[in-house]
Amino acid sequence: MTSAGRLVGFWIIAVMTVAHLGETKKYSYNEPNVPFPPARPTMRNLANICHQGQGRPRYPDSFFPNSGASHYRRRGDAINRLESWYSLCCSGQVAQQVGQILCCAQQAWKHALSRFCAEEFSTMTLAYECCEDKGEARWRCFDSRLPNPNYSATPGSIAPEMPAEPGFTFRQDTC
């Protein structure tokens, strides 16, 4: 009996130790805060998309730790890309009417998230959950996990200058 009791005690201590190590590892470094995913552009949030863009964060390489945050870096890259393309849509260079600007922003959103998913699948890690879906199910998934659905500016935040992101062309004929 005493040997069985010691064995049970050993296993309890082992399980508690492993659980404690798991907790320690989970919180051993600060994870970058990248609010993701961005909301689908709508008539309700379009004004904020176009007029509060400089008040939303961008994510330069220096924002991320040197290692261990590649999935956050991909999210940050997607946000940077999308904000760049939103600037193009809202600038009046490719679309002038509100309906066209919204259509442009929606195309930019889908294209940025499609590229994000392609990048997710190009790694050896588990892809972001919404990327597993196809078609409209993917867009609904992304649009259901919203940290900032209204595209509100972050108080005190001024976006750093970021280079324009290539790779997006507004297709007016699909509006």
Task: Provide mean pLDDT across the span 114-126.
Answer: 94
Is residue 14's pLDDT more than 90? no
For residues 147 and 13, give the distance between their C-alpha atoms in angstroms, rounded to a whole number. Answer: 40
Range of the domain at 162: 46-174
Q: Are 165 and 84 in contact (CB under 8 A)?
A: yes
Q: Considering only CA atoms, which of 142, 146, 153 is closest in space to residue 83?
A: 153
Q: Are 95 and 64 in contact (CB under 8 A)?
A: no
Quick one: tokens of 36? 């993701």
Q: pLDDT tens, 87-118?
A: 999 998 888 899 999 999 999 999 999 999 99
How many whole angstroms from its chain centre is CA 87? 18
**Total number of domains constituting the chain:** 2
Asked whether residue 53 falls in the same domain as residue 138, the answer is: yes
Asked whether residue 64 falls in the same domain as residue 117, the answer is: yes
Asked whether residue 97 falls in the same domain as residue 54, the answer is: yes
Q: Are 28 and 69 in contact (CB under 8 A)?
A: no
- What pLDDT was estimated at residue 20? 34
Asked whether residue 12 falls in the same domain as residue 96, the answer is: no
Asked whether residue 5 falls in the same domain as residue 80, the answer is: no
Is 19 among the domain residues?
yes
Q: Average the pLDDT over each of 9-18, 29-38, 61-70, 117-126 and give the range with the smallest value.
A: 9-18
Asked whether residue 134 falls in the same domain as residue 59, the answer is: yes
Asked whether residue 66 falls in the same domain as residue 116, the answer is: yes
Question: How many residues does the structure list for the chain?
Answer: 175
Task: Provide mean pLDDT across the span 123-134.
Answer: 94
Is 35 among the domain residues?
no
Kindly state the percentage of the chain with pLDDT values over 90.
69
Is 36 among the domain residues?
no
Is 149 among the domain residues?
yes
Asked whether residue 120 falls in the same domain as residue 52, the answer is: yes
Residue 2 banded pLDDT, cuts 50, 70, 90: low
H, E, C per residue of the chain: CHHHHHHHHHHHHHHHHHHHHHHHHHCCCCCCCCCCCCCCCCCCCHHHHHHCHHHCCCCCHHHCCCCCCHHHHHHHHHHHHHHHHHHHHHCCCCCCCHHHHHHHHHHHHHHHHHHHHHHHHCCCCCCCHHHHCCHHHHHHHHCCCCCCCCCCCCCCCCCCCCCCCCCCCCCHHHC
Is 41 among the domain residues?
no
